[in-house]
Structure 1
Amino acid sequence: MAKVKTTSRLRGRSANSLWIGVYNSILLLCLPLIALILLKKWLRKPGYKKHFLQRLGVYDCKRLPACIHLHGVSVGECAAIAKLIPELRKQHPHLPIVFTCTTVAGSNYIERNWGEQVIHTYLPLDFQLMVGAFLAHFNPVLTMSVEMEWWPNLIRQSRNQGSRVMLVNARMTDRSKNRYANMLGLFTFMVSKVHKILPQSELSYQAFRELGVPPEKLMLCGNIKYDWPELKHADPTQKPSQLTWIAGSTHDTEEIAVVAAHKQLLQQNPAAQLIIAPRHPERFDDVWRLLQASGLSCQRYSHAPTLTANTQVYLLDTMGKLFAFYRDAHVAFIGGSLVKLGGHNPAEAIVQGAAVVMGSSRRNCEDICAPLSQVGALVEGNEPQQIAREVIGFWQNNATTAQQIQAGQAVIAKHNGALHKTTLQVLYQLKQAQRPVHSTRLHPMVIR
């Protein structure tokens, strides 16, 4: 019997080596394409040049004996996992937190909001040498990624180095499940290296189970994106007297649709105001040129922060202000939903007292969109005429709209406690770390 078990383990290790070998071989074959993509971003995105060597695993700061590693791909994911930072700093004040991301927007968010509280750097490309350099430099005792940031070499090498590995607020859509089912060997290998996965919904939990993830590796904690423990939901009846709506986190071509919708709105309500907040800062100037060519009265935040009464379209060309601006909006159109990106988080607008219009592309947030739609707080709009009709409908039926928004806020309130449950699981994994997590007395710093 012992011989059979030993043979089984050897076969398992051999299969694991095969899958990671295939993955790394594909990475090497794709190296010219990856280099071309990096060059394109270098030339087109000014912010991409900043700290570029960090993406290759090169750092200009002192090595750390230990740290906690948090990773989110961009702004939304970073904002979610950042909710863990206050309690981590409280429980382990002398253990530095290394906060990584992939995008320039994510980097700007971290530096602006967390400053000297964390060590910030970009996550290196998932090549063995680059990941090895990152781990040797920072020595994490706990590595946490958010949603679906699965990087095989990061997961494998972190685990092999003795770090606890977690996937928090884990999301698994039908599309993701089908993709991983087609490469089940690699997926199973990654799961074998992860200590705990915290799905954000029952739907994601079941998807992980269907892919063969053992129940002892899963803990359903809820979605921390929808949990604001200290935030009081805004009163939807306390809004400006004139119709104000906002298009938040918009992508290329979506601004064209919302401007067209706004022109139709102005025919019925000449005092209506539209606020546009593009998702990516590198598009601010392009969107401004679009607005100037629209024939509407335009204003941009960077030139005049105070919205004037005669402005028809206002460009919110800054980061970190969108959430606050939702509070003065009657209706919010949520971007990423007219293009095939899966939509962005509508909960922020709802808790700030705004009704929501979204396109049909909502796979990234369907778990919250479906119940919000059921109570009438969220409706679909895919064409300018339809968007305009839904916005004016919410505005004209303000008493009913307020009730629908409050019902939507109650839906979101059901996620209260997700952050607490997630934090408890994270602190437990820190206790299980093989290396002591209380010995270092390094002070957090930002890598420049």
Structure 2
Amino acid sequence: MIWRALYSLLWWLLTPLVRYYLKKRARKSPAYLDHWDERFGKAFYPQQQGGIWVHAVSVGETRAAMPLIRALRQRWPDAPLLITQMTPTGRACAEALYGREAEIRYLPYDYPQAVRAFMAAYRPRFGVLMETELWPNLIAAAHDSQTPLFLVNARLSEKSRRGYRRVAALIRPAMAQLTAIAAQTPADAERLADIGGRDIEVCGNTKYDFDPPAEQAVLGAGFKARIGPRPVLVCASTREGEENLILQAWREMTERPLLVLVPRHPERFSAVAALARSCGLVVQCRSDELAVAPETDVWLGDSMGEMFAYYHAADLVFIGGSLMPLGGQNLIEPASIGRPVLIGPSSYNFADACSKALAGGAALQVDSGTDLVVKVNELLADPERMSAMSAAGLRFSQEHRGASQRIVQLIAGRLGN
């Protein structure tokens, strides 16, 4: 208890910095000021109580939750649905995906009274935390209110394990209060157990269960029509620093495919467009709704919720967050529709999936922006290899499905229903 009391005190002391952070982020993304009170445990107006509560911190987790939410709804069709996030982009994604069937809210920061107020307001039947959301006060509030709480699709890198072990006196009691844990891989299960996790089952990764919305294929076909016959490389969910590495290499090419850049954070759209222009490249934006001109070098994907449409328009996909030491993003999605995938050297966020995709021939690793350009040229000149990677991607994504149903079986078993 003493460690959690100190942790709670630290939250109180950091409150001015938390508020400053939100206001600073709001300069580029005004949505950070929306629903302000929810973040601090106020302004709860529950539409219904006693529902299924799913917490998915941002966009990636929200999309990963889609097949699980579908399976939960099938198992408990009459239960209300509450979905919480921590970021504006995650909330916008949830509104787009579930706005008609769920109540969408921010999860409050981990102040003791805030999370207790949240639990008292919504009184969920049970809660589901996606991936690695370990908030000691939230977990304690769920335990005190006798709300079963599950950590699912759970992953833990070796780096994160070392970090949590440094605060073992705080984390181990929280892990022990979780009802059960559904780990992605045996290695994740071992690391989660090492920091205090109990009742852990390996259920796989729900990202394999994702079915692309049919309307995204239609939109992607429209994108391809606007682009024309040129080959297309989509660089998806790129992060700050990566675009410069890619663009510097891209401008050295004599015959360029169309480079479609889709930054991960919308507040950076303008900065990335300016960066591309500063490299002497001709830039257009998706938002201009115009056909892509033959002389355009870079088409900026300045839209939200359309990533699968960009994938459908692509010949090749590079996964962002992997050229920099940021752990990479989800390569399963483009592979699931047969797009050959390239990834950089940093892939710890999706280590198991990347390892399987590389071993199965669905993905290819690059070590720099220059190497990315070299391998793109090699692949575009080798249609047979492209076709083999496409088939391998479809096979890879199909072989590992089923995690969502296994997680639902785990939850139902622990609830006794």
Map 1:162-201 to 2 at 5 A: 162-201=146-185
Q: Is 1:224 equivalent to 2:210 in the alignment?
A: no
Paired residue type of 1:70: V
Relative distance call for 1:375 and 1:264 in structure 2 (3 A) is: farther
Any stretches of 5+ residues in structure 2 without a counterpart?
none
More divergent stretch after superposition (360-369 vs 411-420): 411-420
Q: Is 1:255 equivalent to 2:243 in the alignment?
A: yes
Question: In the alignment, which residue of structure 1 is the partner of 2:130?
Answer: 146
Hey, what's the Cα distance between the residues in 2 that align with 1:430 and 1:50? Answer: 36
Q: Is 1:274 equivalent to 2:274 in the alignment?
A: no
Hey, what's the Cα distance between the residues in 2 that align with 1:429 and 1:311? Answer: 56
For these two proteins, the number of residue pairs brought into alignment is 407
* Residues 177-220 of structure 1 deviation map (CA, whole Å, 9 limit, x = unaligned): 11122222222201221001000112101222334534xx1111
- For 1:40, which of 24, 35, 49 is the aligned residue? 24
The answer as to whether partners of 1:80 and 1:225 remain within 8 angstroms in 2 is yes
Relative distance call for 1:409 and 1:63 in structure 2 (3 A) is: closer
Question: In the alignment, which residue of structure 2 is the partner of 1:202?
Answer: 186
Map 1:35-184 to 2 at 5 A: 35-59=19-43, 61-62=45-46, 64-184=48-168
Q: Matched residue of 2:99: which SS?
A: helix
Q: Is 1:22 equivalent to 2:10 in the alignment?
A: no
* Residues 27-85 of structure 1 deviation map (CA, whole Å, 9 limit, x = unaligned): 23333433332332244431101111111112252464322211111100011123222
Hey, what's the Cα distance between the residues in 2 that align with 1:422 and 1:110? Answer: 21
Paired residue type of 2:64: A
Hey, what's the Cα distance between the residues in 1 that align with 2:290 and 2:135? Answer: 41
Hey, what's the Cα distance between the residues in 2 that align with 1:285 and 1:332? Answer: 22
The answer as to whether partners of 1:172 and 1:208 remain within 8 angstroms in 2 is yes
Relative distance call for 1:93 and 1:373 in structure 2 (3 A) is: closer
Paired residue type of 1:196: A
Q: CA deviation at 1:334?
A: 0.9
Hey, what's the Cα distance between the residues in 1 that align with 2:234 and 2:309? Answer: 11
More divergent stretch after superposition (353-362 vs 151-160): 353-362
Hey, what's the Cα distance between the residues in 2 that align with 1:159 and 1:290? Answer: 49
Paired residue type of 2:50: A
Q: Is 1:412 equivalent to 2:411 in the alignment?
A: no
Hey, what's the Cα distance between the residues in 2 that align with 1:89 and 1:409? Answer: 27
Paired residue type of 1:395: L
Q: Matched residue of 1:30: which SS?
A: helix
The answer as to whether partners of 1:355 and 1:394 remain within 8 angstroms in 2 is no
Name the Cα RMSD after superposition: 2.4
Relative distance call for 1:196 and 1:354 in structure 2 (3 A) is: same
Paired residue type of 1:284: F
Hey, what's the Cα distance between the residues in 2 that align with 1:253 and 1:174? Answer: 25
- For 1:245, which of 194, 216, 233 is the aligned residue? 233
* Residues 378-431 of structure 1 deviation map (CA, whole Å, 9 limit, x = unaligned): 233243221100111111122023213322332332211112212222344455
The answer as to whether partners of 2:311 and 2:317 remain within 8 angstroms in 1 is yes
Q: Is 1:349 equivalent to 2:334 in the alignment?
A: yes
The answer as to whether partners of 1:63 and 1:137 remain within 8 angstroms in 2 is no
Paired residue type of 1:149: E
Q: Is 1:299 equivalent to 2:287 in the alignment?
A: no
| Greater gyration radius | 1
The answer as to whether partners of 2:67 and 2:209 remain within 8 angstroms in 1 is no
Question: In the alignment, which residue of structure 2 is the partner of 1:10?
Answer: none
Hey, what's the Cα distance between the residues in 1 that align with 2:49 and 2:313? Answer: 47
Q: CA deviation at 1:24?
A: 1.6
Q: CA deviation at 1:342?
A: 0.9
Hey, what's the Cα distance between the residues in 2 that align with 1:242 and 1:375? Answer: 28
With the length of structure 2 as denominator, give the TM-score of the two structures: 0.90
Q: CA deviation at 1:324?
A: 2.2
Relative distance call for 1:327 and 1:229 in structure 2 (3 A) is: closer
Hey, what's the Cα distance between the residues in 2 that align with 1:193 and 1:253? Answer: 40
Hey, what's the Cα distance between the residues in 2 that align with 1:224 and 1:175? Answer: 23
Question: In the alignment, which residue of structure 2 is the partner of 1:3?
Answer: none
More divergent stretch after superposition (331-340 vs 166-175): 331-340
More divergent stretch after superposition (167-176 vs 308-317): 308-317
- For 1:358, which of 343, 353, 374 is the aligned residue? 343
Hey, what's the Cα distance between the residues in 2 that align with 1:29 and 1:58? Answer: 19
Relative distance call for 1:134 and 1:231 in structure 2 (3 A) is: closer
Relative distance call for 1:117 and 1:351 in structure 2 (3 A) is: same
Hey, what's the Cα distance between the residues in 2 that align with 1:352 and 1:69? Answer: 30
Hey, what's the Cα distance between the residues in 1 that align with 2:27 and 2:333? Answer: 34
Any stretches of 5+ residues in structure 1 without a counterpart?
1-16, 433-448
Paired residue type of 2:243: E
Hey, what's the Cα distance between the residues in 1 that align with 2:185 and 2:21? Answer: 34
Q: Matched residue of 2:193: which SS?
A: helix
Relative distance call for 1:305 and 1:281 in structure 2 (3 A) is: farther
